[in-house]
Chains A and B, each alone.
Chain A
């Protein structure tokens, strides 16, 4: 990598890695998995930086890497025994008013969604990406994004208690 490219990449890492980590945390549901995901995405971005920097948006390029890696991880994990995140691997906190508990439940249900639905919701409601942008990133049509989002929201709104305890994060199937 040329010196100017290295400097660009370094600036990108310094500026955007925290944002990528937040997205990764939502995609994976665990801080250690998110750490690994961002690490892997930045490694790949570095290897392909000459291509990434020519993209319309290097961040979108790297975000796509991140999403693809999350998919790869999910493909691998769904064949392995059920993993229950350790308590310390999940954000925690006291909730005197019940709101945090409700949101925690909402996040648990988010992480029980199939990875593609989860990704659509994270990109739409956390990263504020338009459906067209999500479609471009995922390689699907905007109507597929809307359909996935609609189905995902319906699943999140569905009554609690029908979830198979074995179908936790990263174990649901599309």
Chain B
């Protein structure tokens, strides 16, 4: 037997031995068959968590809006089971420190807080959207006034590493990439979060560009916010109409997070101009083939 064949055979045997050395757990089909219902409830649950984290979170993270990305709305306080659709922004009550948010999945709470913060900062940095940002709600995302002051910086620039950004991709809350147009900016935002109080304790900027970046996402949304519709369209799969199905085709800012891949596709949750999150799906050919106006 050639040496290479022997090595490959040994590798195969080693793999088989390793794989068999740990008994597989028993997976109960019924658990999964109940899962879609939980998955559909996830956003609602997360929205409640965000409302508890700070009543402005849902507003800032895109809980309001819906089609057309209309004026943002402030959700009712934490006792409410779902975000309010009140068209009139309200005073922001202090979030409860004994909220259910801490009992909710801390990763989800952290993701929503980071989403709320970055979307607010991007809106603050663009005159057309600035009026939608209730600063008390932003401050309520933080653990203290000092943390807010240090993290938010001047006009939200502290959140975007001192640069005006019109796009961001939260690969995770520890690595939020910033974009201007389709260009990836230097600097990676990290949002530190206290799961016990469900508040942001700090915002920091690291060097580099955050590793993996999705050129399809930034190619489409980045060109779109710069008015380059034709260039953006190159990232759409044949027959895909893009954002026109659920949003203005001339958005100002975007924020994507919750990246996932699982089938033949990958996808992101995307907030455009502070509206409700939508879901973008990409196919194997790096084209956007699906946009779901209301993210599940």
Known: A1-B33, A78-B211, A139-B284. A65 touches B263 (CB 8 A): yes
B1-27 contact mask (Cβ, 8 Å, vs A): 1 or 0: 000100110111111111111101111
Is A51 close to B, CB under 8 A? yes
State in angstroms the CA–CA spacing of A134 and B52 once bound together: 46
Once the chains bind, are B33 and A125 in contact (CB under 8 Å)? Answer: no
Partner of B35 from A47, A61, A78 at Cβ < 8 Å: A47
Closest A residue, CB atoms, query B35: A43
Using a Cβ cutoff of 8 Å, how many contacts connect chains A and B? 123
Closest A residue, CB atoms, query B33: A6
Partner of B20 from A22, A39, A41 at Cβ < 8 Å: A22
Known: A75-B171, A79-B175. A69 touches B261 (CB 8 A): yes
State in angstroms the CA–CA spacing of A14 and B26 once bound together: 8
Is A46 close to B, CB under 8 A? yes
Is A31 close to B, CB under 8 A? yes
On chain A, the residues within 8 Å of B127 by CB distance are none
Is A13 close to B, CB under 8 A? yes
Partner of A44 from B14, B27, B262 at Cβ < 8 Å: B262
Known: A75-B171, A107-B18. A9 touches B11 (CB 8 A): no
On chain B, the residues within 8 Å of A78 by CB distance are 211
Q: How far is the CB of A40 from chain B (nearest CB, A)?
A: 8
State in angstroms the CA–CA spacing of A64 and B32 once bound together: 18
Is A35 close to B, CB under 8 A? yes
State in angstroms the CA–CA spacing of A37 and B150 once bound together: 38
Partner of B259 from A17, A72, A106 at Cβ < 8 Å: A72
Q: How far is the CB of A96 from chain B (nearest CB, A)?
A: 15
Q: How far is the CB of B213 from chain A (nearest CB, A)?
A: 11
State in angstroms the CA–CA spacing of A76 and B261 once bound together: 13
Is B201 close to A, CB under 8 A? no
Once the chains bind, are A103 and B20 in contact (CB under 8 Å)? Answer: no
Once the chains bind, are A13 and B27 in contact (CB under 8 Å)? Answer: yes
Is B29 close to A, CB under 8 A? yes
Once the chains bind, are A51 and B10 in contact (CB under 8 Å)? Answer: no
Once the chains bind, are B36 and A46 in contact (CB under 8 Å)? Answer: yes
Known: A44-B263, A79-B175. A126 touches B29 (CB 8 A): no
B244-269 contact mask (Cβ, 8 Å, vs A): 1 or 0: 00000000000000011111101000
On chain B, the residues within 8 Å of A22 by CB distance are 19-20, 24
A67-81 contact mask (Cβ, 8 Å, vs B): 1 or 0: 011011001101110
Known: A9-B29, A79-B175, A139-B284. A71 touches B261 (CB 8 A): yes
| Given contact pairs A45-B32, A46-B33, A91-B22, a sample of 5 additional A-B residue pairs in the complex whose CB atoms are under 8 Å apart | A1-B33, A22-B24, A34-B22, A39-B27, A107-B14
Q: What is the interface of chain A, defined by CB distance below 8 A to chain B?
A: 1, 6, 9-10, 13-14, 17-18, 21-23, 25-26, 31, 34-35, 38-48, 51-52, 61, 64-65, 68-69, 71-72, 75-76, 78-80, 91, 93, 100, 103, 106-107, 110, 121-122, 125-126, 139, 153, 156-157
Q: What is the interface of chain B, defined by CB distance below 8 A to chain A?
A: 4, 7-8, 10-22, 24-30, 32-33, 35-36, 39, 171-172, 174-175, 210-212, 259-264, 266, 284
